[in-house]
Structure 1
Amino acid sequence: MAKDCYLTLTVRNLPPGTTKQDVCNHINARFQNARPEVGPVVKDPNGQTFCTTVTVRQDTEDKCKILLRDLNLRKIFPLYPTTDMRESELNVSDEFIGVTTLAEHDNPLFDLYFVHGLGGHAFKSWSTSADTASPRIWLRDLFPDDIKARPVNRDNPNGPKLAGRFSTIGYRASSVGSNSAIMTIEKAAENLLNMLRTDRPEGSSRPVYFACHSLGGIVTCQAMIHALRHRSDENGGYHRHRDTLYQNDECLVKGIFFFGTPFEGSKLADNASLMLKFLNKNSPLLDSLKAKSNELADIVARFNQLRSHPHTNIPILIAYEGLPIYGKTYVTKPDSASSSFKAHTMEINGDHRTMVKFSKSDVSYREVAEEMIRLIQNTLTVSNMPPPVSPKTRLQDAFQPKLPSRSSTFSSIRTMPPPYPGFALPFSQHRKLQPGEPSPPASERASPVSDTRSLTMLAETQSYDDPAPAIPVAYDDNPLTIPLVRHINLSTPVVPVKYSDIIPALKPGKRELKSPFSQLGQFDTVFLLDDTGSMGETEGDDKPRSKWDDLIESLQWTADLVCRYNKNGIDVHFFIDEAKDEFGIRKAQRLLDLLSNEVAPDELGGGTYIADRLYTILTEHLVKFEKWKQGLTRGRGPSRVEKPKKLNLIVITDGAADDMEEVEDVIVETAKKLDELQAPVHQLGIQFLQIGKDDDAARWLAKLDDALKEKHNIRDIVDTRPWNRPTENDKSLKDRLKQILLGAISRAIDDERAC
């Protein structure tokens, strides 16, 4: 049976009112078995017509080419045109040269352009293989949907949502062929600027981001040098491009994502250049990419100087390939990918070619998407946001809260903390007052504070010999609206321990050496949290608090300590609501806000299933460690792969899992794999923290801690502890926190029995 062939086309000059169904019908009426898959219909840069992308299927590649030729210049007649333009001749191509918008949200706040590399293609470089199935391209099929549900401001989950325009930039960048002998980085950069100038409306102040693969990163750097240089340095006529990326004394380029860009060149380019010379051919682009190229070094130095200037200040993210191409050679080594830039770097589980071809199931896609969204959130300014909701509307929402529902958990539209027992707090403690709004009665007001310090900073200045005061929200006339945040009540007396006993205060010129918590900096701490329905329940009629309250209280202390010692922050995963997983949280208050306003126990109920989430987190760590270990055993010096930090996984749950056997299997197989890899004793630890007093859960967790090691003859990687609020426990708060945070990664502490 012949293999199907797939071809993706750009279809331009569509009349206003044309729908995806119109395009699909147009193709099906003329070709049998084409099975067109039509992408979003978006505006052309001219603003008068529309365009889309279409993937068609035929029996052979030749038939695909025939279909392309027959479609080009054919007239289309949309069923419901919205203007006098009722028909038009289509412009159809498979080259993707120039700017092609793949997706666009309503009222976009930014433009994101994707620039391919040497020998690349604006669609094929970023899409999955078309060998066996219709290709998928993440910048059209995945990323726009993932980003539109996220808030512009991470601290305001109910505020305006991100909206963007996602486009590819295609240019001729082959190392062979008629065009290769004259194409240089300089010319490619000029072409890119001309395309941007044509694509963006004159005077547009919409922020711009670039995502660049391989050579595309060098071309983009050169384009930025030309467009953003100071006016006194202008030459070569590039001043006409300045207004495209610089408006009202503000640089519009807010971030660049580099994927496998060889800032220090590549030895593969050396070899390829020699081969072309043997064939009496020339490629200036390849010559520019040689290792230690002077031209390349100049471009990198100038761009680094430019992006560091106060008037431009362009944040960047650098990703490098984790696998050699064809299993043999790295096109871009990590040191060449990061060069001399001071920037966040990350490894992608793919070779130089596949590192930008993501599918929905790729772990690397989730990591890349999260980092890109985070940078966009950090750099969009208030001026780019839609108008704020009026104070009247906010007051109405506050006094008429919506009940929590499963759908609201996913869409982040909750306007009040979930109404579980213990949450009935005075309105004044939930939000700032709006201008002109009367203050609540004195009986409802807590003592005002003048700043919003972290829990760590606040606690360092207080003694816990007396009951701790509540942390109130300040009353002022600040017109800035803020999201509703649950009041964290610390008024219940705790064990009389000073916070300085937990974390010794630093003396001028001295390093912190005494605290046992300092070893947290050697680990990636990951929290896996139980958000099943039972967490919304209370235990006993005399207890007004839910188990979800207790979970938040446990994190109030533990997360703050981890954030203090781990500069990478913490990752948070949930049993059910994976869409709310968050990575690299550096402030404990952000985690408390997440649990108060965005995530709630699943009201649909159901069982407690842990194994799948546990498997995913542990396997990801094992894969990273194994790749690093393999690099060491090659006998060629240090591993190219960065050594992963050790893992401290803390699972907080209230009950015995409904998949107990599967959970035990995951733990046993993980321990066996660690032994197989001869990993250090505490390369990985799992702490189960029990919320509530379920006896069956306590017995099962004790089995994980004590019995698995003996039964299966494996290393001990599990510790279990009850939370049992500090006020109800005889141990000091310091000892309790030490057991919870270090019990799974310290043999001495693991051997201590929980009360």
Structure 2
Amino acid sequence: MAKAAFLTLTIRNLPRGTTDEDVRNHINQRYSNAQPVVGPIVGDSLRPGMVYTTVTVRQDSDDKCRALRDGLNLKSFWPRLPEPGADSEAKIAVNDEFLGVTTIAEHENPQFDLYFIHGLGGHAFRSWSTDKDFPRMWPRDFFPNDVRDKPLNPNDPQGPKLAGRFSTIGYRASAFNTWSATTTIEKTAENLLAAIMADRPQGTTRPMYFAAHSLGGLLTCQAIIRALHNKADKSELQETYREIFIQNGEILVKGIFFFGTPFEGSSLANYSSKIVKFLRGNEALIDSLKVRSEELATIVAKFNQLRSNEETKIPILISYEMQPMYSVKFVTLPDSATSTFNALSLGIDGDHRTMIRFQHNQEESYRKVSQHMIRMIQSSLSGSNTIPSMAPGSPPARFNPSPLLRSQTVGSTQSLPPYPGLFSPGLSPGLSPGLSPGVSPGLWQSQYADPRSSTSSSIGLGSAVTPASSLMSLPVYPSPDSKAIDPLVNNPFARAHSPVAPVSMNDFVQAGPQGKEDKNEFAMLRQFDTVFLLDDTGSMSEQDDNGKSKWDELIQSLQYIVDIVCRYDKDGIDVHFFINDEKDEHNITDGQRILDLLTKEVAPDEGGGGTYISQQLWVILTTYLERFEDYKKRLNEKPRPERPKMLNLVIITDGAADDKEEVEDVIVEAAKTLDRLRAPPNQLGIQFLQIGKDDDAARWLNLLDDALKDKHRIRDIVDTRPWDSPKEMNKSLQDRLAQILLGGISRARDKAETATMS
């Protein structure tokens, strides 16, 4: 059964007096299975006589969600009890882009505005919401309620309560073809200023705060710089910008919360610039995010100048991710996130994407983040710089606009418990959950103290803060009951190991009498370098009704494949992973080594963060194509260069990609390159083997197989097949394996109907 699809919409142009029940009934009358969840009804700052809301709907597929969206758009809406003077009927506007300012929650008589700004490749709603099961967006669903429960002045618990207005600001933020190639941080920041100016009444003195993720933090800094840095500019436009942030000589920006903002640049940008250039994307924007980028250095220097000025001091709180993402150790290194401004910093237990996604309001990371944000708001609004401590016995916390001491970082590594195999549900006697013989129960952690400080100002969420006197370069072993020792205790892969061996394929690959030509169909593999690209993202840990995970199925598929491939690829095969690229191996000649790698050293990523294929796919394809192009250029040399073997790339995945357009672009560009080089028809082939039964994923994979070549008028280099567990070793299985291993490189196999496992 395909998993449910969700889509969150904005529904605008609602008459005053509209209730959440009105919206829910309106949708249910047209789509009985939509199960709409309606957010707060809020006033529209651009249309004072109207209100709007956000709604999350559920359907069987993404296509049906989009059809529902289009079916609701521009339809008549009648509230049950419109306010006097309000329209009794209106044509509603339904969208899911969330561009510009979208208010997602609003208290009565708000004392402040809080704007949430997403990062590169992000979305104003989805970036802040969970993507497992029903989406939960903490800026809308958790934080406003937590704020409303708190007193304005923490030293006066019985006094007035906090009240705020909570909004997202969306902008087009793809590094690929949706932006002009010349778009930069500076230009985008001006659009941000225009959005804020349109949202706030002219001359308002209501304080504002920003919560900004990744690139959004740099845009926030640049917007403030654009408005405030050049005091000599007295133009009308500059004065208009300045009035957004300063009224009556007072700075209205009372705090900024930075989440994973790469103030010193990101190694991912250095890496991504190649793929963006390859896809003719936004090089100017990506280059501005590189490590040691001149544009970043300018933004940081100017923002620091503003914070050093008495008139424009702005308190900030900086957080950084504590888990890696993709093939890069960290998108934002702790030093890049924290060292630039010498400000209070928090380490969040998540990767660059999941660090701003919280499943519920009792999650430890959310509680710490929300507490710090609320305390900064209380401190600045109440006029009291001293606020109650967050822990019994600790001194009062201060949010001083002046820079604090440089924060410290925490480094950690962890070894992965062996995989249990496909046939061993349970623990071996005498083993603790998640551990195996020879595996240390502790995680290595090193913390280094700043010589200027007696305490560390870095707080790793969910971990203890160690006194600075003990922070030497010595390993610290958490106690056996520490949460840190067992991050995989609930991981179905953290169990005792049972060997998983390749299935012998002797009956399928017998070569015939010695000295005779091998006419076995699989002998074609001798001409190819076979490369496996394996999906180790979090979605592969999903289990079916029998408790079998997609990762189990992936390993099972390789049990039947590796013996055949290793027989014919004498150079050895290469194995690459979507996430754990440090575990990539080359020239493997023993199928058992591949299975050991998957059962003992690699497991699906527990951090989530989506399924992204394009970057690893691009690395493999461009590396090969550059080698082939170099061979073509040197054909007239003597001695003639050695011709690269043809490439057979087998990608095993559930197909639930979050970067579908980028994957398509990479494949199309590779095919065009092969055409330009006049390569043989089967010089390069890509075989997608789908694990699981996701119908949406299957449709997308079939699109890669059938539609790309006609749409772009390119050669066909893709084949897709589903994996089904075989019941017996027979001719049907032999045909099925031939389709899997040869479908990307053999036209005959590509065109053949999928054989049924029996």
| TM-score normalised by L of structure 1 | 0.53
Measured against aligned partners, the alpha-carbon deviations of 1:506-553 in whole angstroms (never above 9, x if no partner) come to xxxxxxxxxxxxxxxxxx9964xxxxxxxxxxxxxxxxxxxxxxxxxx
CA distance in 2, matches of 1:675, 1:114: 31
CA distance in 2, matches of 1:224, 1:8: 30
Q: How does 1:636-647 map to 2 (within 5 A)?
A: 644-646=464-466
CA distance in 2, matches of 1:675, 1:22: 46
Q: How does 1:82-231 map to 2 (within 5 A)?
A: 82=83, 83-129=85-131, 131=132, 133-231=133-231
Measured against aligned partners, the alpha-carbon deviations of 1:612-665 in whole angstroms (never above 9, x if no partner) come to xxxxxxxxxxxxx96662899xxxxxxx997953489xxxxxxxxxxxxxxxxx
CA distance in 2, matches of 1:306, 1:675: 41
CA distance in 2, matches of 1:626, 1:159: 47
Change (3 A) 1:233 1:381: farther
- 3-state DSSP of counterpart to 2:127: coil
Tell me which residue corresponds to 2:265.
265
CA distance in 1, matches of 2:258, 2:172: 20
Contact 1:231/1:239, CA 8 A, preserved across alignment = no
Measured against aligned partners, the alpha-carbon deviations of 1:382-439 in whole angstroms (never above 9, x if no partner) come to 69xxxxxxxxxxxxxxxxxxxxxxxxxxxxxxxxxxxxxxxxxxxxxxxxxxxxxxxx
- 3-state DSSP of counterpart to 1:380: helix
CA distance in 2, matches of 1:369, 1:79: 37
For 1:253, give the aligned amino acid: V
CA apart distance, 1:247: 0.8
CA distance in 1, matches of 2:130, 2:204: 33
For 2:465, give the aligned amino acid: K
Tell me which residue corresponds to 2:315.
315
CA distance in 1, matches of 2:8, 2:177: 23
**Are residues 1:81 and 2:79 paired?**
no
Change (3 A) 1:224 1:348: same
CA apart distance, 1:32: 2.4
Tell me which residue corresponds to 1:402.
none
Tell me which residue corresponds to 1:61.
62
Q: How does 1:337-736 map to 2 (within 5 A)?
A: 337-360=337-360, 361-381=362-382, 527=392, 559=393, 563=395, 629=445, 644-646=464-466, 672-673=480-481
Contact 2:264/2:340, CA 8 A, preserved across alignment = no
Change (3 A) 1:274 1:30: same
CA apart distance, 1:134: 1.7
**CA-atom RMSD in angstroms:** 3.3
CA distance in 2, matches of 1:343, 1:104: 30
Measured against aligned partners, the alpha-carbon deviations of 1:675-720 in whole angstroms (never above 9, x if no partner) come to 997xxxxxxxxxxxxxxxxxxxxxxxxxxxxxxxxxxxxxxxxxxx
Query: Identity over aligned residues, as a percent?
Result: 52
CA apart distance, 1:674: 6.9
Change (3 A) 1:96 1:153: same
CA distance in 1, matches of 2:185, 2:483: 50
CA distance in 1, matches of 2:184, 2:236: 15
CA apart distance, 1:285: 1.3
- 3-state DSSP of counterpart to 2:337: helix
Tell me which residue corresponds to 1:750.
none
- 3-state DSSP of counterpart to 1:56: strand
Contact 2:442/2:479, CA 8 A, preserved across alignment = no
- 3-state DSSP of counterpart to 1:119: coil
| TM-score normalised by L of structure 2 | 0.52
CA apart distance, 1:275: 1.9
CA apart distance, 1:242: 1.4
Aligned residues: 422
Measured against aligned partners, the alpha-carbon deviations of 1:41-74 in whole angstroms (never above 9, x if no partner) come to 0001132110100001111111111111111111
Tell me which residue corresponds to 1:30.
30
Contact 1:627/1:641, CA 8 A, preserved across alignment = no
CA distance in 1, matches of 2:358, 2:484: 30
Measured against aligned partners, the alpha-carbon deviations of 1:581-626 in whole angstroms (never above 9, x if no partner) come to xxxxxxxxxxxxxxxxxxxxxxxxxxxxxxxxxxxxxxxxxxxx96
Measured against aligned partners, the alpha-carbon deviations of 1:253-294 in whole angstroms (never above 9, x if no partner) come to 000000000000011101111222234444321110000100
CA apart distance, 1:235: 6.7
Contact 2:346/2:459, CA 8 A, preserved across alignment = no
For 1:80, give the aligned amino acid: L
CA apart distance, 1:180: 4.3
What stretches of structure 2 of length at least 5 have no aligned partner? 400-440, 449-457, 469-476, 486-758
CA distance in 2, matches of 1:283, 1:61: 30
CA distance in 2, matches of 1:627, 1:199: 48
Contact 1:20/1:40, CA 8 A, preserved across alignment = yes
- 3-state DSSP of counterpart to 1:311: helix
CA distance in 1, matches of 2:207, 2:19: 29
Tell me which residue corresponds to 1:608.
none
